[in-house]
Amino acid sequence: MAKIALITGASAGIGYAAAELLLKNGYGVYAGARRVGKMKDLGELGGKVLALDMTSEASLVAAVETIYKEEGRLDILVNNAGFGAHGAVEDVPLEEARRQFEVNLFGLARLTQLALPHMRAAGGGTIVNISSIAGKLSMPAGGWYHASKYALEAYSDALRLETAQFGIKVILIEPGPVRTEWDNTALVNLEKYSGSGAYGPLVKRITEKFRAGYRSGAPGPEAVAEVILKALRAERPSARYAVPFKASLIIFLKWLLPDRVLDRVIRRALGA
């Protein structure tokens, strides 16, 4: 019997790639996102498409109820939906910062709350939370996004310890530089909130770095999808998977270098 997975943020990037790969490997997939039209091809592959808004209680409840009505179970939850409210922490309105946490953490946590009782009753399940190396290392003009991912790391660690007794696995995926449309959204927000004013020169340098090919040579979202599949297939998965190798290297340098030295490296790289 095919395992049933719900993947959030499945209209593009990592979520779309993961949904496509799982479908091709025999999983039953419910693909959730606000942009339903962008998931048409997943439906043609045999996936079930759901309208899903991570900031709406009604939408989250409806998604879980639909899956249990149709399938009677949910084996895998891939919490992928997220965005970057980039800009200097001084500039980003607190309303937008709260929305950042609502999507990247609280919506994820609420969906997990809805799924857990069913997984517990079934005697097990797997929750995959898509974090980022941004949850390990902070860069200027991304403070609220980093904060949401740092919080997700801590949340996931606690969840893993709490649910292990019920046979429920909690896995963190920590992507580094990967080519997705996420960058475009982040850069739009960056320009919107901090493109002028005191942080304007810094934002200009950051934008130039991205436009000059910060992610040149970086793999596409398919590389992350492959790691998700690997983790799901593992009998005893690791708590964390960093992808690609460059992400592991960045995390190692964060561990190795004193804060003062790392700050100097980052500022020099950005000309700050």
Catalytic residues: 145
How far is residue 185's CA from residue 85's CA, in Å, rounded to a whole number? 9
- Tokens 């800009």: give the residue: 87
Is the separation of the CB atoms in 112 and 127 below 8 Å? yes
261 CB-contact burial (10 Å; exposed 0-12 / middle 13-18 / buried 19+): exposed
Q: Is omega for the bond preceding 244 within 30 degrees of 0, making it cis? A: yes
Phi-psi group of 250: left, alpha or beta (phi > 0 → left; psi -120 to 50 → alpha; rest → beta): alpha
- The amino acid at 58: A
| Beta bridge partner(s), residue 8 | 32
How far is residue 95's CA from residue 99's CA, in Å, rounded to a whole number? 6
Q: Which helix (H) or strand (E) covers residue 175, if one does?
A: strand 168-175
Is the separation of the CB atoms in 190 and 206 below 8 Å? yes
Is the separation of the CB atoms in 25 and 13 below 8 Å? no
Is the separation of the CB atoms in 131 and 174 below 8 Å? yes
Would you state the structure tokens that stand for residue 214, as one six-digit string? 């910060």
